[in-house]
Amino acid sequence: MKLYNTLSRKKDTFKGKKRVNLFTCGPTVYWFAHIGNFRTYFFEDILKRVLLYNGYTVKHVMNITDVGHLTSDADTGEDKLEKGAKRENKTVWEVADFYTKHFRNDLKSLNIKEPTVWVKATDTIKEQIDLIKILEKKGFTYQIEDGVYFDTSKLKNYGVLWGNKKPIELKAGARVEAILGKKNITDFALWKLTAPGVKRQMEWDSPWGKGFPGWHTECVAMSIKNLGIPFDIHCGGIDHIPIHHTNEIAQAQGAYGKMMANYWMHGEFLNIEGSKISKSIGNVVTVDNLIEKGFNPISLRYLFLTAHYRSKLDFTWVSLKASQNGLQSLGEKILRLLEGQTTKISAKSKSLPVYQKKFLDFINDDLNMPKALALMWQAINDPTLPNKEKYSLILDMDKIFGLNLDKIRKIKIPKEIISLDKERENARQEKNWPEADRLRGELQKLGYLIEDTTNGPKLKKL
């Protein structure tokens, strides 16, 4: 298996033990996750499915950020959870609970497998304080009025994820809201102190004073607690490269002298109708919005499959409609397969192992879903593949795609419906149109539609 590793900036052969330890940065539960966020969770789901397909077992840990994620990456601004609580006039805990549940429902709608372990930032405060204590002991921290900070100048190789490109937002002279007393522009908060006069719902005692942890500290404590160090793969969206993951690496390096994870993988962003997804633009789309507009959320999975996870993807309603159509026609082809309407070659086909090998090559080549999906279409339209083999090949491929193709069933039509349909057909033969129409209406009332197809009229369940 080859996976693109942001750390080495190339496709590396994956060398993991039988059990793979995977950490994926999870949602900040102050609002609904949008379809951009889900593009990243989808890519991670594909990664997990490909690992499983290759015979690995996966211990997947995902965090729930329920404190400490500020509205600005420069350690300023409000805590998103406290902001959410004010907006909804609820407690922070209620807000976190509501959006966590909603997030898990959305995962289900998109057929994204749940992690093995969920871990909340607020359940790991002790481990976070312990981590900061180690960093303090090793001389990587300093305290200012605002909180405890990591001194990035003390670390020899800070910023290994960047390659030779320093992120624009961290270049000297970049416009940032500076925090008084911060020594270097790249220094980041480990523990923020509750500001005098501010009433926070979430705060904890610490050796440095009452406050709350920094977002980057949370993920280090949560991942290492559950997966040890180093663990195999750490994932997130590309926006995590310049700051969040860079600062996670810095802390693990400082505290334990080790690289935190062996492979770092990042998914490209989803735009909507050509624009960055943003509340201020007002173009945020959620899974609920798709359902409200009559879309099957799985068609979003199909759309995501059409682009490589390291390429930008632009979501449009037109492209979603095309994906829904693609999914539908896939379903119809499978139905026809089940009904045995296509070729009935009984001998074992020679092309089956070729498809299987190609499929494995594509998915193991840094999760090349567009090629794998095109191969599925090629297989489904291949007249030399016998039905049974074709069907099991498609279901096998769907272990990766997750399009729920195994749920497509030949419908069992009750006897009385079949006899009503026969009566209607007789009426039609006798050119008794009023009677044929009456029976068609009767069938419709019972939930069956008669569709005119090239092979004559066909019963379909509504």
Residues contacting 268, CB < 8 A, separation 6+? 237, 238, 309, 310, 311, 312, 313
The position carrying tokens 């397969």 is 337
Q: Contact, 101 vs 29, CB < 8 A?
A: no
- Return the bridge partners of 11, or none: 4
The contact pattern for Zn ion, residues 236-275, with x = CB under 5 A and - = no contact, is ----------------------------------------
331: tokens are 């379903």
Which partner in Zn ion, ligand AMP, none is near 219 (CB below 5 to 8 A by kind)? Zn ion
Length of the chain: 462
Which partner in ligand AMP, Zn ion, none is near 277 (CB below 5 to 8 A by kind)? ligand AMP
Q: Contact, 127 vs 222, CB < 8 A?
A: yes
Least gap, CB of 433 to ligand AMP (angstroms): 55
Least gap, CB of 219 to Zn ion (angstroms): 3
Q: Which residue is nearest to ligand AMP (CB)?
A: 237
The H or E element containing residue 20 is strand 19-24
Least gap, CB of 40 to ligand AMP (angstroms): 4
Q: Report how far residue 353's alpha carbon sits from residue 344's, in angstroms, rounded to the nearest whole number.
A: 19
Query: 28: which DSSP letter?
Result: B
Q: Report how far residue 12's alpha carbon sits from residue 323's, in angstroms, rounded to the nearest whole number.
A: 32
Residues contacting 436, CB < 8 A, separation 6+? 424, 427, 428
**Span interacting with Zn ion, options 217-225, 305-313, 324-332, 372-380, rule CB under 5 A:** 217-225
Least gap, CB of 24 to Zn ion (angstroms): 8
Least gap, CB of 78 to Zn ion (angstroms): 19
Q: Contact, 424 vs 452, CB < 8 A?
A: no
Q: Report how far residue 365's alpha carbon sits from residue 359's, in angstroms, rounded to the nearest whole number.
A: 10
Q: Report how far residue 319's alpha carbon sits from residue 299's, in angstroms, rounded to the nearest whole number.
A: 10
Q: For ligand AMP, which is the closer residue by CB, 39 or 440?
A: 39
Which partner in ligand AMP, Zn ion, none is near 28 (CB below 5 to 8 A by kind)? ligand AMP
Residues contacting 368, CB < 8 A, separation 6+? 308, 362
Q: Which residues bind ligand AMP (CB under 6 A)?
A: 25, 27-28, 36-37, 39-40, 236-237, 239-240, 267, 269-270, 277
Q: For Zn ion, which is the closer residue by CB, 74 or 219?
A: 219
Q: Contact, 155 vs 250, CB < 8 A?
A: yes
Least gap, CB of 23 to ligand AMP (angstroms): 12
Which partner in ligand AMP, Zn ion, none is near 213 (CB below 5 to 8 A by kind)? none
Q: Report how far residue 319's alpha carbon sits from residue 401's, in angstroms, rounded to the nearest whole number.
A: 18
Residue 372 near Zn ion by CB under 5 A? no
Least gap, CB of 87 to Zn ion (angstroms): 23
Which partner in ligand AMP, Zn ion, none is near 237 (CB below 5 to 8 A by kind)? ligand AMP
Least gap, CB of 186 to ligand AMP (angstroms): 19
Q: For Zn ion, which is the closer residue by CB, 75 or 398?
A: 75
Q: Which of 109, 106, 113 is nearest to 46 (CA)?
A: 113
Among 74, 119, 219, 261, binds Zn ion (CB under 5 A): 219
The H or E element containing residue 378 is helix 369-380
Q: For Zn ion, which is the closer residue by CB, 25 or 119?
A: 25
Residue 231 φ/ψ, nearest 5 degrees: -100, 180
**Span interacting with Zn ion, options 24-32, 104-112, 145-153, 286-294, rule CB under 5 A:** 24-32
Q: For Zn ion, which is the closer residue by CB, 22 or 25?
A: 25
Q: For Zn ion, which is the closer residue by CB, 192 or 390?
A: 192
**Total number of residues that touch Zn ion (CB under 5 A):** 2
Q: For Zn ion, which is the closer residue by CB, 154 or 244?
A: 244
The position carrying tokens 């040890």 is 228
Q: For ligand AMP, which is the closer residue by CB, 219 or 337?
A: 219
Task: Name which of residues 283 to 342 contact Zn ion (CB under 5 A).
Answer: none
Least gap, CB of 44 to ligand AMP (angstroms): 8
Q: Report how far residue 301's alpha carbon sits from residue 42's, in angstroms, rounded to the nearest whole number.
A: 8
Which partner in ligand AMP, Zn ion, none is near 242 (CB below 5 to 8 A by kind)? none
Least gap, CB of 312 to ligand AMP (angstroms): 9
The gap between the terminal CA atoms of the chain, to the nearest Å, is 44
Residue 25 near Zn ion by CB under 5 A? yes
Q: For ligand AMP, which is the closer residue by CB, 268 or 389?
A: 268
Helix, strand, coil shares of the chain, percent, nearest 5, are: 45, 20, 35
The H or E element containing residue 211 is strand 211-213
Residue 67 near Zn ion by CB under 5 A? no
Q: Catalog residues that contact Zn ion under the rule CB under 5 A.
A: 25, 219
